[in-house]
Structure 1
Amino acid sequence: MGDQEEDFSSLPLPDRFAHKNWKVRKEGYEAAAKEFSLAASESDPVVRQFINDSGIWKGVVGDSNVAAQQEGLGALCAFLDIAGAAGSTRTRNVTIATIAEKGLPSTRPAAKQKAVEALMLYIETDKPDPVIEELLPILSHKQPKVIAATLDALTQIYHAYGCKTVEPKPVLKALPKVYGHADKNVRAKAQELTVEFYRWLKEAMKPLFWNDLKPVQQQDLDKLFEKVKDEPPPKQERLLRSQQAAKESAAAAGGDGDEYGEEEEEAAIDLEPEYEAVDVFPKIPKDYNERLASSKWKDRKEALEEVQKALNHPRIAEGPFDELLRGFAKSMKDANIAVVSTAANCVELLAKGLRKSFAKYRSVIMNPMMERLKEKKQSVTDAIGGALDAVFASTSLQECLEEILEFLKHKNPQVKLESTRFLVRCLKTTREAPSAAEVKTISDAAIKLLTESQEVQRSAGAEVLGTLWKIMGDRIMNAHLDGLDEIRKSKIKEFYEAAEVKAKFKPKAAAPPPKPAAAPAGKRPAPGKRPPAKKPAPVAAAAPPPQEEPAAPLAPKPTSRPGASKLGAPKTGLAAPSRLGGLKKPGSGLAAPSPRRPVASPPPEEEFAPPPAQPKLGLTPGRGLAGRPLGKPMAEPAPAPVAAPTGLSLVERAELDELRAEVERLRRQNEEVRAERTKLTSQIHELQNQNAQLIEDHTRDVLSIKAKETQLVRARSDYEAAEQTVQNQRRENDRLKRELSRQVRATSPPPTDLSEQIYADSTGGPGRFGDSGYGSTGLHGARNRSIVSQPTSPGLEGKENFDSLSGSALGGKLSPLRVGAGSSKSSISSRGGRASPAESGISGFGSLGGSQANNGAESWKRAAEVTQNLKQRIEMMKAKQGLGRLQQ
């Protein structure tokens, strides 16, 4: 077993990291952590090995064995601590998601803490945005414990680095989705994170997510906010590597070390939601100028209200608003206060929508608004005050100060008071402290206000001085407050203590004193070695070994010997410094002065610029004549003081300044490219949204067309079915009519006697019968034949048979009789088969006997009864077949 352990320890670290035995992996992680802690820098081979092979860390942080995983997370922390930004950028895309899924939810507190520390180191060594981007998708994980652990890690990150270093907006926008989770632990961790945000951001964070929460959740959060509402503002507990370097450089430049932290605290946190700029010109009425010039105040107010509705957008696209602003300025002089208030609201919306782009319109609108502050109605002054605040937010204190101070001298007390209050609001919201000259001007104007007759004016002046005092501090303001009495000073002190400002004056740090010129060194001293003892050495002393060379060179001596550079000294006109630490005796004979070399006295030290560094093969004591001082020996045997390490030469400083300017230029270009990319990305998103909307509209139209086509097909099929039904009903109706005709012919007796009488009457008596050669029997036979051969009309109900009989029997020669027969027929139909008086008169026309008349009357009675029975049967058949509904 011991041999196996020895073999495992001899394996390379990457092989041990990937070993199948968890104990081997665990020992490999521990060994790697020790190696990383002993490494000098990120260029160490063991560190570079794991930077280049970054994919191996995914298996380390997600080790299946919890004990090995704990040690693996510790090895990652040690690696990130020494690898810096290079190790962070190469490994974070393969490790952060695994850490969140397997490290943060670990059941071992030590492993969980190391996982959080690894995330902290990823932020510290580079920047926090990539880490937050990797963690946000984990908030949609299917396991609630992973989401809860990630929320807890985010809370610790924001608690350590603060919302000024780590951007809070992406996490704030994701909070409503987390609050809708079914797991109570997830919601509890979300509340903790929200409270941490509230410690940093207060009420400014609510517009980003508050309206997406349920009222019950809002009430619970308000209760939690009350507990931390009165706490002092939090401070960043952990700095990024870049912040640490900036703090160290600030301390090296003469600062106190805390200035960097204060500057970071003053940095503004941009929590304003990102909105797309809206072009408002199409929504502004075309006749705006004409309506604004109307003599009726209602027309002017309605025109301004329409413009106000058009300008009501969080962000407005830039454009030529000069004409619009001139109309607003003109409305400030309107006699109707409703018009003035509406115009002020329009100015406020436009200034908030354009933001910094509104600054060029300030001179057009600010003076008319401040003139109108004379209005005593509070609603009007509030509207104008809100517009003035929006205008100031788009500019700066320096741009507005001169105009505000002019109105502090206004003859109208109301204008003077409201202008003073506006100045106080400007001082509280500005982020740039005024200059010394501006402080003097403001202080003088405010001190004059302290002598006003009205107490409210004096209080406003005292508030200006107190707010200015809060910004500038005691040292500057004491000079302006010295001449005031104690009562006024106490009043100003009250406003000073209550004021809340965003700007803080910081005196510029004094420039560091110039460093003395140092002699060029042949070799820089090794760190940790002390310079040699400062005592003279004999001329013939042996040269010390190289490792005993002094750490710093002595002061240079001037020389103009042209051959000095041949021995290794720099060609700068200066002789190589002496490393003997003492002086040579004159006339020692070791170095005869050259006749071409004039011996000159050394000029003052400050006249010499620091020469470039000495090459490594510099002179050492005893190597040649140039190693000895060539100037006049000094009377004092004391050695020259050891100079500080050389600084940068003028050429190097100029080159450094050029490089800094180049870096700044590249940084600006990078920011412009980022802004352009952001703009193009927003345009792409907008076009994608428009495309999706068009696709949705097209789909909706296609579905609507298909629905209409389906309805049309159904209507056509219903029409064809109805037409088929109508045809069937018509055929059935014809069939019933034919059946009815057959029934009538079968049951109706022929009216023999009446026909004979009508025929006899029409032909002029029995003489015609005899003449025609027909007898009684012959007439009856002819009538019967005509009845049999005469077709019955299907449209009649049996009452017209008599007309057919009479017409066919008489051969169409009795047209007057037909008219009479038709009238008698209608009377029969209207009376239900009873004979009318006209009918009884017909039987008296002829010369037939009484027996024949009686037979005819009985025949008519039978015919009427049969007809009535047929009518009843027809009505019953119609009811059965539904013919009544179809005919209607």
Structure 2
Amino acid sequence: MAEAEEDFSSLPLPDRFVHKNWKVRKEGYEAAAKEFDLATSESNPVVRQFIQDSGIWKGVVGDSNVAAQQEGLKALCSFLQIAGTQGCTRTRNYTIATIAEKGLPSTRPAAKQNALEALMLYVETDKPDPVIEELLPILSHKQPKVIAATLDALTQIYHAYGCKTVEPKPVLKALPKVYGHADKNVRAKAQELTVEFYRWLKDAMKPLFWGDLKPVQQQDLDKLFEKVRDEPPPKQERLLRSQQAAKEAAAAAPTVVEDYAEEEEDVVIDLEPEFEPVDVLSKIPKDFGERLASSKWKDRKEALDEVQKLLNVPRIAEGSFDDLIRGFAKCMKDANIAVVTLAANCVELLAKGLKRSFAKYRSTIMNPMMERLKEKKQSVTDAIGAALDAVFASTHLQDCMEEILEFLKHKNPQVKLESTRFLIRCLKTSREAPSPAEAKTIAEVATKLLTESQEVQRSAGAEVLGTLWKIMGDRIMNAHLDGLDDIRKAKIKEYYDNAETRAKYKPKPVAPPKAAAPPAGKRPMAGKRPAPGGMKKPAPTVAAPPPPPVEEPAAPLAPKPTSRPGASKLAGPKSGLAAPSRLGGLKKPGGGIPGPPAGTASPRRPIVSPPPEETAPPPQPKLGLAPGRGLAGRPLGKPQAEPAAPTPLQAPIGLSLVERAELDELRAEVERLRRQNEELRGDRTKLTSQVHELQNQNAQLIEDHTRDVLSIKAKETQLVRARSDYEAAEQTVQNQRREVDRLKRELSRQVRATSPPPTDLADQIYTDTNGVGGRFGDSGYGTQGLHSRRERFANGPTSPGGEGKENFDGSLSRPGSNLSGKLSPLRADASSVRSGSSRGGGRISPVENVGSRIGGTQAAAGAESWKRAAEVTQNLKQRIELMKAKQGIGRNPQ
């Protein structure tokens, strides 16, 4: 067994990688990882071996034994850290899919972590796009655990590198398919990935996939988004190798101002869906120009309608649209506003479809559209404004600045106002900050707008200054804001706080001092100092003739010539004197003649050789020239030593230290302001949400108050109606009462008018020969008669034979007696009845007639009195009949 182990350890690493025994493979992976960790570069033989044999890694990351697979993934991570871009590009086609299928879903946490780290290193070493392309097909895998593990890996990749480094669009387009998976773990991992996208992209990501989700899924995601909505913007945690190199280069150049890691925020994330370009130019009607020149506005409108339908596509193929643009520009002067609106809509669609390709048509269409902003109808100005925004999106701020500033001075107030608003939109949407000169021009024009008579113009000018202040910063804008009063400054500051811009002014980096070194190296013949610097090893072939030494510094060799000392003696002086001899016109140095060459060379020396490393070596050639022939060494050596070359370079070194200190302070201030800005942005977001909540509560309270007021008004209306009905009913009652009183008075008058004057009833009653009157009086008819009879019986005994006649007659004939008044008609009736009965032989009794008369009179007093009178009358009749029966009065006298 020991011999077998010795044989295994002696095997080359590639053979051990493919060995059938998993223990051998595992030991091979461990040994390879150690070799990779000890390697210093990708040129190491072990590393080169596995770079050349890149297909072997597929079996390593997909090893059937989980223990060996864990070590194989670890070995791959060590390999990727040292192999560089070449090792990454050669192996990723074999390994990424296998890692996703067998490494990420591993049950061992260490193997899973190594697999994820390998993917991270693939992204870091080269670029992330190929890694994402390899992982996307895994989202359609048949095993749910593989899909869930891949989604989790994508979440970790985007969390570490960010959506500004890793393109999010392909993964966003694949999300709806993942959300339709039957496994809940897959959907849960998809939600985590979506939330990570939301942290970077916010609502800008929704157009790519939101419409393909179910309403329930949208609601669940909105709840998850609420939890991370107020978080500060995320930052990239890991850098690519290219980003690391750029950061190190920026750190090595302290004179470069803009070397912050935060500047990576300027990277634009393109989330616009990709569409195939459509060839619109070939579909435009041939007679479009003729119809557009028609005198009938309906023909022009119909032609523009057709073109608008053709241009309404996401992307338009490039072509020659000059005639079309000229037609649209002509339509801007049309008298019909419908034609103008349609032309503006067509320009907007064309600019959005062509994107950057529309920039060449800007000068043709921009001026006519801005001139038409004088239209007072809002729908027309809105259409032109949208078209101008689309045109600006295809160009740059510097391209449009001249036209915008010209129209800001327009004599028409409407054109001036709309141009100002267009400038504000340009400043907010532009990703390029204006130069300080352009900012000064804009600030001057906007400051003039602050003195306009209309408040809307003054507000627009303040907004321009506030937005420009947000872009350019305090240093540049303070000079333009110093002369303004406090009220205007407060207004501008308000717009500054609320402005949201994409651009941020960055001062151009200061050129480093070593930039002057290449000219010194390229043109050594212009001065004397390069020659000694290039004397490190003069070429022996160039030393003989005088002119060629000019080219010596371009090919420096070893500093000490050993084979030809004579040549070295000649080469030194000639190489140093070639340029001065030509400049001064001297072939041989003289005692007083070297002055002019030195004078001519001295002012050029600092320019030709500014770097200190170039000026430090000159003393060495002087020492080398001393033992040789010094016929030209003395006169030229002194002029070269007079102006100290390092002296003018000390100032940049001192200045760079000051600038470095100032730069550090500025960086600290920028960082502090940036943190403060993030805090203020978070507070602003919270306050905005609170404001929205309070607005909703206020709207609810207003609604409740309105409902209560309406209810109160309804109750008041009902109360007024009830009072009106009550007053009407009371008035009706009063009228009825008055009517009843009137009827009573009328009835009493009629009764008095129809009644004869009161007469003595006793005369008629007692005129009857048979004594009916006496009996009638005794009968006590009526209420008054009964009372009088009771009084008579109470006063004393009465005679049944008629002794009470006097009392009865007295009571009836008394003038104040009520009964006499009431029974006065009875005498006439009784007499008429007696006469009638005597003539006709009727059986009707006078008493009956009197009873009926009294009943009719009492009927007006009410039903109760009538009933009582009827009963009394009936009793009276019965008694009369009894009396007649006893006395025989009822017979006819005939």
> Could you report, residue by residue, the CA deviation over 1:428-461 in whole angstroms, capped at 9, with x for unpaired residues?
1112221222111101011111112222222211
Q: Is the 8 A contact 1:466 1:494 kept in 2?
A: yes
Code of the residue aligned with 2:240 in structure 1: it is L
| Structure 1: tracts of 5 or more residues without a match | 524-555, 576-594, 636-640, 644-888
> Could you report, residue by residue, the CA deviation over 1:465-509 in whole angstroms, capped at 9, with x for unpaired residues?
121122222221122222122222222222222222222221111
Q: Secondary structure at the match of 2:94?
A: helix
Code of the residue aligned with 2:81 in structure 1: it is D
Aligned twin of 2:681: none
- Residue 96 (structure 1) aligned with residue 72 (structure 2): no
Code of the residue aligned with 2:270 in structure 1: it is D
Aligned twin of 1:261: 261
Structure 1 residue 625: Cα displacement: 7.1
Aligned twin of 1:463: 463
The farther-off stretch of 491-500 and 297-306 is 297-306
- Residue 371 (structure 1) aligned with residue 341 (structure 2): no
CA distance in 2, matches of 1:326, 1:486: 48
> Could you report, residue by residue, the CA deviation over 1:397-446 in whole angstroms, capped at 9, with x for unpaired residues?
12211111122122332222211110011111112221222111101011
Q: Secondary structure at the match of 1:492?
A: helix
Q: Secondary structure at the match of 1:20?
A: coil
What's the TM-score, normalizing by structure 2? 0.59
Q: Is the 8 A contact 1:558 1:573 kept in 2?
A: no
Q: Is the 8 A contact 1:33 1:78 kept in 2?
A: yes
Aligned twin of 1:344: 344
Structure 1 residue 231: Cα displacement: 2.9
Aligned twin of 2:227: 227
Aligned twin of 1:414: 414
Are residues 337 and 163 of structure 1, via their aligned partners in 2, closer, same or farther at CA, if it must alter by over 3 Å?
Answer: same
Aligned twin of 2:704: none
CA distance in 1, matches of 2:590, 2:34: 62
Are residues 17 and 317 of structure 1, via their aligned partners in 2, closer, same or farther at CA, if it must alter by over 3 Å?
Answer: closer
- Residue 392 (structure 1) aligned with residue 389 (structure 2): no
Structure 1 residue 304: Cα displacement: 2.0
> Could you report, residue by residue, the CA deviation over 1:564-590 in whole angstroms, capped at 9, with x for unpaired residues?
666999998479xxxxxxxxxxxxxxx
Q: Is the 8 A contact 1:251 1:257 kept in 2?
A: no
CA distance in 2, matches of 1:60, 1:257: 47
Aligned twin of 2:326: 326
Q: Secondary structure at the match of 1:55?
A: helix
Aligned twin of 1:710: none
CA RMSD of superposed structures (Å) = 4.1
Structure 1 residue 389: Cα displacement: 0.4
> Could you report, residue by residue, the CA deviation over 1:606-643 in whole angstroms, capped at 9, with x for unpaired residues?
58769999xxxx99x99x97899x978x99xxxxx9x9
Structure 1 residue 207: Cα displacement: 2.8
Q: Is the 8 A contact 2:258 2:506 kept in 1?
A: no
Q: Is the 8 A contact 1:248 1:257 kept in 2?
A: no
Q: Secondary structure at the match of 2:190?
A: helix
> Could you report, residue by residue, the CA deviation over 1:108-133 in whole angstroms, capped at 9, with x for unpaired residues?
22211111111111111112122112
- Residue 175 (structure 1) aligned with residue 175 (structure 2): yes
Aligned twin of 1:527: none
Aligned twin of 1:142: 142
Equivalent residues in 2 for 1:208-247 (5 A)?
A: 208-247=208-247
The farther-off stretch of 167-176 and 85-94 is 167-176
Q: Is the 8 A contact 2:535 2:559 kept in 1?
A: no
Structure 1 residue 45: Cα displacement: 1.3
Aligned twin of 2:116: 116
Q: Is the 8 A contact 1:293 1:300 kept in 2?
A: yes
> Could you report, residue by residue, the CA deviation over 1:211-241 in whole angstroms, capped at 9, with x for unpaired residues?
3323332333333333333333322222211
Aligned twin of 1:493: 493
Q: Is the 8 A contact 1:51 1:87 kept in 2?
A: yes
Aligned twin of 1:307: 307
Structure 1 residue 562: Cα displacement: 8.6
Code of the residue aligned with 2:491 in structure 1: it is K
Q: Secondary structure at the match of 2:234?
A: coil
Are residues 28 and 141 of structure 1, via their aligned partners in 2, closer, same or farther at CA, if it must alter by over 3 Å?
Answer: same
What's the TM-score, normalizing by structure 1? 0.59
Are residues 469 and 572 of structure 1, via their aligned partners in 2, closer, same or farther at CA, if it must alter by over 3 Å?
Answer: farther
Structure 1 residue 196: Cα displacement: 2.0
| Structure 2: tracts of 5 or more residues without a match | 518-529, 538-557, 578-587, 639-643, 647-894
Structure 1 residue 282: Cα displacement: 4.6
CA distance in 1, matches of 2:66, 2:536: 57
Are residues 226 and 339 of structure 1, via their aligned partners in 2, closer, same or farther at CA, if it must alter by over 3 Å?
Answer: farther
- Residue 73 (structure 1) aligned with residue 76 (structure 2): no
CA distance in 1, matches of 2:457, 2:633: 78
Structure with higher Rg: it is: 2
Code of the residue aligned with 2:395 in structure 1: it is T
Are residues 306 and 57 of structure 1, via their aligned partners in 2, closer, same or farther at CA, if it must alter by over 3 Å?
Answer: same
The farther-off stretch of 250-259 and 173-182 is 250-259
Q: Percent identity?
A: 77
CA distance in 2, matches of 1:81, 1:400: 49
> Could you report, residue by residue, the CA deviation over 1:517-564 in whole angstroms, capped at 9, with x for unpaired residues?
8967989xxxxxxxxxxxxxxxxxxxxxxxxxxxxxxxx9999x9936
Match of 1:563 among 543, 565, 569: 565
CA distance in 2, matches of 1:427, 1:626: 70
Equivalent residues in 2 for 1:152-191 (5 A)?
A: 152-191=152-191
Q: Secondary structure at the match of 2:513?
A: coil
Code of the residue aligned with 2:445 in structure 1: it is A
CA distance in 1, matches of 2:206, 2:444: 41
Aligned twin of 1:56: 56
Aligned twin of 2:86: 86
> Could you report, residue by residue, the CA deviation over 1:259-300 in whole angstroms, capped at 9, with x for unpaired residues?
263443212222222222222245434443444444544443
Q: Secondary structure at the match of 2:122?
A: helix
- Residue 510 (structure 1) aligned with residue 510 (structure 2): yes
Are residues 229 and 363 of structure 1, via their aligned partners in 2, closer, same or farther at CA, if it must alter by over 3 Å?
Answer: same
CA distance in 2, matches of 1:410, 1:494: 27
Q: Secondary structure at the match of 1:105?
A: coil
CA distance in 1, matches of 2:257, 2:157: 24
Q: Secondary structure at the match of 1:63?
A: coil
> Could you report, residue by residue, the CA deviation over 1:137-157 in whole angstroms, capped at 9, with x for unpaired residues?
111111111111111111111
- Residue 203 (structure 1) aligned with residue 174 (structure 2): no
Are residues 74 and 290 of structure 1, via their aligned partners in 2, closer, same or farther at CA, if it must alter by over 3 Å?
Answer: same
CA distance in 2, matches of 1:332, 1:7: 89
Q: Secondary structure at the match of 2:503?
A: coil
CA distance in 2, matches of 1:254, 1:173: 43
Structure 1 residue 2: Cα displacement: 6.0
CA distance in 1, matches of 2:329, 2:271: 32
CA distance in 1, matches of 2:312, 2:279: 11
Aligned twin of 1:450: 450
CA distance in 2, matches of 1:271, 1:265: 16
The farther-off stretch of 324-333 and 310-319 is 324-333
Q: Is the 8 A contact 1:564 1:571 kept in 2?
A: no
> Could you report, residue by residue, the CA deviation over 1:766-792 in whole angstroms, capped at 9, with x for unpaired residues?
xxxxxxxxxxxxxxxxxxxxxxxxxxx
Q: Is the 8 A contact 1:37 1:78 kept in 2?
A: yes
CA distance in 2, matches of 1:558, 1:12: 48
Equivalent residues in 2 for 1:125-140 (5 A)?
A: 125-140=125-140
CA distance in 2, matches of 1:441, 1:164: 34
> Could you report, residue by residue, the CA deviation over 1:807-858 in whole angstroms, capped at 9, with x for unpaired residues?
xxxxxxxxxxxxxxxxxxxxxxxxxxxxxxxxxxxxxxxxxxxxxxxxxxxx
CA distance in 2, matches of 1:47, 1:369: 65
Higher helix share: 2
Structure 1 residue 94: Cα displacement: 1.0
Q: Secondary structure at the match of 2:54?
A: coil
